[in-house]
Amino acid sequence: MAATNKLSVILPLLVIAATLVALQPENVAGKVCPQFCLDAEYMTCGSSDERLNPSCNCCLAPQGCTLYFSDGTSQYCA
């Protein structure tokens, strides 16, 4: 009887602890991306100077790419 009481206390605590660990921000996969497109002229990636078709925004571009705009500004995608 005492073993059953201990189990009825320990089991819910283990379930709660496992849930809290799973909900930690570093354990949650995914990235929130803005739902708009920047009006980029082209993009370059890495050390290459090759002009590529631009992604909608840095959230959708590969890491390390740079978006270039018609007004001469640019945005590095970290």
Angle at 10 between CA 5 and CA 15, to 5 degrees: 135
Range of the domain at 47: 40-76
Domain assignment present for residue 14? The answer is no
Beta bridge partners of 75: 67
Helix then strand then coil, % of the chain, to nearest 5: 30, 20, 50
The C-alpha atoms of residue 64 and residue 7 are separated, in whole angstroms, by: 52
Per-residue pLDDT of the chain (78 residues; tens, 9 = 90+): 566 777 777 877 777 776 766 666 665 567 788 889 999 999 999 988 899 999 999 999 999 999 999 999 999 999
Q: Is residue 28 part of a domain?
A: no
Domain contains 68: yes
